[in-house]
Structure 1
């Protein structure tokens, strides 16, 4: 089966010359070494940070996936063949539609390679360091015996968008599809359902969900369009999708379909036909009215404090107000790198855990931002050893009281999980105050607070013999009590391992 039949004729903007701007738009070729005169470069997917590009090319007479890195603005490295995927897909099998997850750990693609559900399926490969795993089929119920492809994963990793073929054809004979979503449950995606009207109107395809998780760009074949498939954008507001708006700044009379947008939301990457009738990869600025909402990337590296080596970890974000889990991802176990996304104006409980180590936690409350921003957080976790101690950052008490605030439950439940996973741990829970107030008052308050924490842990099944409550009042300040900020640091609860 031909590439054009599978991809529904993905040639959509006529270009004047290789490596030059489009005459009627601001399309800018990525140039060499990404684009070549001899071959087609097609269906790009860009990483969240805009520095990794994965695309298809027909070098050697068959379609394979390649990866290039932006070594400096506008300069791309020589593309590398992703052999772990390409060498598994048969020479006559279809391979298309790569889509990189926002955390950069998973590459989804579409293929009818051996081992699938019987038709065109969604497959994926996991990245560890610079290596990609052998492809795995996403399985049922996302994949069916028919056509299921061109996936796009939401930034929190919870929702998979994809297209599934129907029975209807366009006036030019192309098979129409519907857009579907499936919800993550553990390692699987379940309950595929079609997106509602006004998204699905009869002939849709090639969804791309933006980094805000609310802006969807996709293709649709509509009578009122410019001709063929056109690109449209819809936003999720208050649980409903807005009326799709055509991206007429790049829509043409031909088929306009596959695009990719980095987390910055300011540029579109796409493939288009050059003057030698080959596909090349281009970029174009995304007008302000089409840009997704601003997001903030929290990224960094997680390492063992003693060895300074990367460790496999789990990163979790919870909405501090609603208690809802926003996302849970793992880092790259070889490099330690992680990346999650948060919105301005919201407060998050942010935590990192790793087997055999203490955990890290803090409250994230990003200020208003004018554009996409990155916040770097490099975290070191302590191995679980006798006398290891760390501050329980997210423990909060009512003012001048030993009563725990409900916002402390995230942190306390992490302690419960840690002790249940390490059943021989005996720990000291110590509470500390600043220097305001009398010694007797602070000693009593700190002891009551430590005991309050211990009571909560016991209520969750941790036996009393494993818990010691100590109140140290103001006798062990972490920093000098010479400012409000430092006094706040001294009002703390600590976790110390007495026996392991």
Structure 2
């Protein structure tokens, strides 16, 4: 009996030791203490390995991050489906280019979701560490490309991100000093896009750069920058700071105390909604996991509006490739020009509040479609779904000039019509033998005679603008139809607005 009791006690001690060892080995408690912190859990996070440097797509539905679960760092991608993250997939088209001993890290989505920027010293690197990207074409990520000598130097260049309009690149470059912990300090750089390349990188001014900065991330408003910095006022190591741009000046960086720890804090990601932040944090097992946390209001970027949809061929109703241009309708300044996904036809735009936008979609051999988005009074993030339909240019084809506006009860064109009229001019110059009828229509408010006269005068106003800008009169016919050809019944105010229109009809090619 005594031997039996000793045996039971021995088994109990062994089991207790094993359980204690397992508990200690699997302690994934984060070092960051915040009641809103939520682990992404399985299948993203693992107990045995590290998950690090998350980048979330602008719509919050795709996650790319680093993990060492294969024995070395590689990039993985996961999609949010029905509120849960899918099993991560190895981004082998990129990872397989990285040899043992090479570095890859710091992934960052472009806001249109069509490029992934990252850092590597893989074969083809210009210097010690370079900026790279992979492009998504027809929903397939392509082999990585070096961003070239216009931004990469013989030294260290890393951790890139790009503004929502794809016009400004931010990254970090090795400086000339070391941090108190012995790490090489970096400075934050930016480069503007000219044609297809980012050129002439410059250091961001003080108070952003103070001598030891890194890991920049520009938010969806194009004005709010979050970055890491080693500063004497910090909690220790690199802390996260936020600065906002007004004109060409940056505000004094504010420490993000709700997220900073005594360890190095870096590499965060915020979707376009601006209300949540994704980060990696070291747990008590000395492994990194990925978390999400509500972003306090004082740190949220300015609200933007997501416009997304599919570009389709009017004849076949199938997706088609196109170019999407965004301009300030009041100043005519071009803000961005992007291509949609040529296979799915999908496009997405992130428009900052406070402006009125002209958005046009064009493709060679087709009509164009345009829309106005007035965000001057926008107050919250929202998603607008808008499919765009292009009609092949052929005899008798007719399409509406959506962004054409007249003064109330008048034939005088407003200045906001000029971008639309300039597109007509460009189309007619490209198709030099084309002849068109400018057809103007009204709703049923007012007498038939008055509406007929008003529509004729409006058609003539459009023709006058076109002739003053180089289109000869023999190629143009002005025709007013009054209320005689409604596109929809005049039974609601919304339908009446649809009937007040000007159309472009091809009468000769």
Q: TM-score, normalised by structure 1?
A: 0.91
- The correspondence for 1:201, drawn from 205, 210, 214, is 210
Say yes or no: does 1:479 pair with 2:488. Answer: yes
**How many residue pairs end up in the alignment?**
485
Local SS of the residue matching 2:429: helix
Q: Deviations over 1:449-469 (max 9, x none)?
A: 323322322333334443222
The match for 2:65 is 55
The match for 1:119 is 128
Change (3 A) 1:484 1:264: closer
**Is residue 396–residue 405 contact of structure 1 (8 Å, CA) maintained in 2?**
yes
The match for 1:152 is 161
Matches of 1:472 and 1:219, distance apart in 2: 63
Local SS of the residue matching 1:84: helix
CA offset at residue 441 of structure 1? 4.6
Matches of 1:116 and 1:426, distance apart in 2: 54
Say yes or no: does 1:246 pair with 2:255. Answer: yes
Q: Deviations over 1:236-278 (max 9, x none)?
A: 2344211111111121111111111111112211122233322
* Larger mean Cα displacement after TM superposition, 404-413 or 378-387: 378-387
**Is residue 170–residue 190 contact of structure 2 (8 Å, CA) maintained in 1?**
yes
The match for 2:52 is 42
Matches of 2:467 and 2:25, distance apart in 1: 72
The match for 1:233 is 242
Change (3 A) 1:189 1:276: same
Matches of 1:223 and 1:344, distance apart in 2: 36
Matches of 1:21 and 1:177, distance apart in 2: 27
Matches of 1:195 and 1:367, distance apart in 2: 29
**Is residue 32–residue 261 contact of structure 2 (8 Å, CA) maintained in 1?**
no
* Larger mean Cα displacement after TM superposition, 211-220 or 22-31: 22-31
Say yes or no: does 1:31 pair with 2:41. Answer: yes
- Contiguous gaps of at least 5 residues in structure 2: 1-23
Local SS of the residue matching 1:259: coil
Q: Deviations over 1:421-442 (max 9, x none)?
A: 3344322211223345555554
Give the number of the structure whose alpha-carbon radius of gyration is greater: 2
Matches of 1:17 and 1:245, distance apart in 2: 35
Change (3 A) 1:121 1:265: same
**Is residue 109–residue 115 contact of structure 2 (8 Å, CA) maintained in 1?**
yes
Matches of 1:308 and 1:481, distance apart in 2: 27
- Contiguous gaps of at least 5 residues in structure 1: 1-14
The match for 1:289 is 298
- The correspondence for 1:447, drawn from 419, 432, 456, is 456
The match for 1:334 is 343
The match for 2:401 is 392
Change (3 A) 1:421 1:227: same
Local SS of the residue matching 2:293: strand
Matches of 2:332 and 2:216, distance apart in 1: 30
Q: TM-score, normalised by structure 2?
A: 0.89
Local SS of the residue matching 1:448: helix
Local SS of the residue matching 2:70: helix
Change (3 A) 1:486 1:236: same
Matches of 1:223 and 1:20, distance apart in 2: 28
Q: Deviations over 1:145-198 (max 9, x none)?
A: 211111111111111111111111111111111111111222111231111111
Change (3 A) 1:466 1:155: same
Local SS of the residue matching 2:461: helix
Q: Deviations over 1:115-138 (max 9, x none)?
A: 232231111111123311111111
CA offset at residue 70 of structure 1? 1.2
CA offset at residue 481 of structure 1? 3.9
Matches of 1:436 and 1:263, distance apart in 2: 43
**Is residue 32–residue 281 contact of structure 2 (8 Å, CA) maintained in 1?**
no
